[in-house]
Structure 1
């Protein structure tokens, strides 16, 4: 995609963004040659959401159906995108790229596979310019341009190191994925390399969410798992195991390779990737 002159609509379907951070990110997007418009209700506040549910949903619907908008960029994660799912249009009339992560995981299952929609798991505008590093911004820019990404070295935690695995990329935030299990928007991971991350969740809560996903069949048919960052996810005092130990135990029953080390999630480095894109795991690296 050539970016010069492309239009970005900023929407806030979830938590209240810090507009100072957002403005810095908008300036960055403009330096990339993008034209930016801010949704009517992005600056609103209703309890812990960025405006009332119907207003947030209206901004999102408008951005997805407006033929003058090329890129729909989520302002912030937090919580609240689930309220907008019923208001998503049944179809998107022209090509759109949607960018977000964290709570935006709730939008991915609903939007992925819809004609004309490309979903990029990448930094929100609440942190693109101020909370993530240059490597994150470079990866975001490359993903927008649809450039081939450099291979990412990984750490193998389980499974054969000689096997080659191909699949589409899926996943996102564990807690949000678990919250959708059993709904019409439940994620589908069959044939997928599943990327997982989380933030500010105690280990047992991550365990509980993973069990919910397992029992709901969300991971059935997955070809591999790749763990990202788990920021401020503490273990119990005097724990004799690591978070990776716990996650490997939970994922072992699928009998597929499990890796760690993909730099995405809520850390300083939030590497962008396209939901549904073809990828290969080979030689302990992820190639896209």
Structure 2
């Protein structure tokens, strides 16, 4: 869900990578995170693999290993980098090799890769330092591919969430705008622009482009309420505050018949390494 610190002059100034407490809060329940977060479109994985010069993939902020396992299934050799040891432990148990570090501080130890990918994670990385590190570890012609799921909540569900969040966290440094939650790609475009801007500033890449993959998923009330606590705005809430939000959102879904179909767009910001490091 698009969120931004209160008082920002412009959405383009969003700097989520500075909010480390939120960035490293997802490991509170890695089993739920892995169970409920949707995988990435197979067509996206196939396109990234086809655009890379070889099978060596570095997965930045690999979390529980969702994307890493998909790239492994596509024939890639994947190394994950993940700052949260709890998430990294889950990924290892699922068959992914992971090193625990933030990407900015991670030591590649001379290793290079054919692709650097990040699934719903690059906004937690400094866009300039991250692009510089990616340029350092990518082989010439290597592919940088940063991707996010973007979804459009039904208006009633978005508004119920925003209202319940305001009630339980009135002094939150983040705001939740139900209009942004319904405008999907427009709401996330500042994050895409930040990623592209970091790549341009560092140099050594061709011009960043966006690839888009549209799909949809139907959620029952219980399925959506199971996923909802994995969002960054909720991982640090007290049990009572979380329960209040789940009750409000659950009532909205019940009023829609107990289920809804969510349109998704998975958007990739991508660029190729243009020369030798």
TM over 0.5: no
**TM-score normalised according to structure 1 size:** 0.31
**TM-score normalised according to structure 2 size:** 0.32
More helix by share: 2
Higher relative CO (Cα under 8 Å, sequence separation at least 6) belongs to 2
